[in-house]
Amino acid sequence: IEIDDFESIKDNIGLAASDLVINDVAKELKTLVEEPDIIARFGDYSFTILLEQATHESSQEYAEKLCKTIEDHISDVGGQTITTTVSIGICPIGENSGSAQDVLSRANNACNTASSEGGNHAHLYNLVAAEQAGKEQHAVWAETIRDALDNDQFFLAYQPIVSLHGDTKENYETLVRMQNGSGEQVLPQEFIPAAEQTSLMPDIDRWVIRHALQRLAEEHAKNKQANFFIKLSGYSLNDPGLLPWLSEQIKEYRISGDTVVFELDESSAFMHLNETKAFIAGMKQLHCKIVLEHFGTSLNSLKNLKHLDVDFLKIDGELINSLAGDNQAQETVKSIIQTAHSMGKLTIAEFVQDANSLALLWQFGVNYIEGHFLQEPSTELEYDFTSDS
């Protein structure tokens, strides 16, 4: 449930008065919520209501009643009278609804639809129609991805991973990008979901590996001590042909395996633990190193760690982003770093965005940092690693 055109309201009456409007709308909504139903604040000027027992029809009628009630209500704020309307998105909850986040995301999408249609009404999320639209969109993306693979329209960007303890080796994470027909850059979040749904991730992984090794060989030919960190999707863990193929690629480009570090997502690794253990063992035979990335997102992250012979832990960016103002995040990060070091593993903090977070990470003893605070991803390998040693 979102207040329509709230930014205009805030511009007209000011921040303090607009907060009072939000509170007044919340009070009015509460009058229409009965136990066991629950209302909660969802965003700056949005709310959610969980209906315990409702059909598609009854929830639609209820939502329209909410819209009418708010439309008829007048807020008296500091001597000013303000009228508002709301847009409402409805998402049914059933056995196949997925996670709470999935449900909230669908309700939010439906709310955005209601708002785009002029607001002051409710829109019911149609799961079947949305899934069909998603499949059609993925099919279009799949064709685009295949064209990009066939015509070398992918390219790599590089982001430095910098030691906080004097190691001047040139560590870079390789990040895949796509170039569309207009020559514009397409970020992974736009095409990766479709690649995952259409079984194209192993092909993208191999493209990235091949081109990363080629570039790494060029750097080594210049006598640069470069190491590349290469992301691997969970889909490649189950690719039986990947390790033999990788061995051939390393030989072809005359790369030392210990200059190549592969990054595995924590959730994928723990979800397929036996496959991951076998995969890591194969990588170790090639002398490649392993990072467990997005680490710390699972309740059992540290407990499960003993099962995997990884060299680095890359601490999840959400923890790093909230570090400066969140004591719990600080304790979690400290615990990860201490446990990792006690097990002989090095730590990397990703998505470092500000000096305050950097200062805390230094204090906690993290080994390496990465993020826009140092440098945004670039197609050039131009970071001066000696300046921060």
Does the pLDDT value for residue 56 go beyond 90?
A: no
Q: Over 80: is that where the pLDDT of 342 sits?
A: yes
Q: How far is CA 246 from the centre of its chain?
A: 27
Confirm whether 2-125 and 136-388 share one CATH topology: no
pLDDT band (50, 70, 90) for residue 190: confident
pLDDT at 16: 86
First to last CA, the chain: 51
Predicted confidence (pLDDT) per residue in 344-367, tens digit: 999 999 999 999 999 999 999 999
User: Over the stretch 264-302, which tens digit does the pLDDT of each residue have?
Assistant: 999 889 988 999 999 999 999 999 999 999 999 777 888
- The answer to whether 340 touches 347, Cβ cutoff 8 Å, is yes
Question: How is domain 136-388 classified at the architecture level of CATH?
Answer: Alpha-Beta Barrel (3.20)
Residue 137 has pLDDT above 90, yes or no: no
What pLDDT is attached to residue 78?
A: 80
- pLDDT at residue number 133: 59
Q: How high is the pLDDT of residue 255?
A: 95
Query: Under CATH, domain 2-125 is a member of which superfamily?
Result: Reverse transcriptase/Diguanylate cyclase domain (3.30.70.270)
Please report, for the chain, the start and end positions of each structural domain, with discontinuous segments joined by +: 2-125, 136-388
Beta bridge partners of 176: 156
Report which listed range, 108-117, 176-185, 186-195, 242-251, is most confident. Answer: 242-251
Tell me what the mean pLDDT of segment 311-327 comes to. Answer: 92
Q: What's the CA gap between 233 and 269, in Å, rounded?
A: 10
Taking residues 52-78, report their average pLDDT: 93
- Strand pairing category for 289-295 and 312-315: parallel
pLDDT digits (tens, 9 = 90+) for 206-219: 999 999 999 999 99
Report the chain's mean pLDDT, rounded to a whole number: 91
Measuring CA to CA, which residue among 265, 325, 270 is closest to residue 291?
A: 265
* Residue 389 clears pLDDT 50, i.e. is over it: no
pTM above 0.75, yes or no: no
- Strand-by-strand arrangement of the 86-90 sheet: 38-43, 46-50, 2-3, 86-90, 122-124
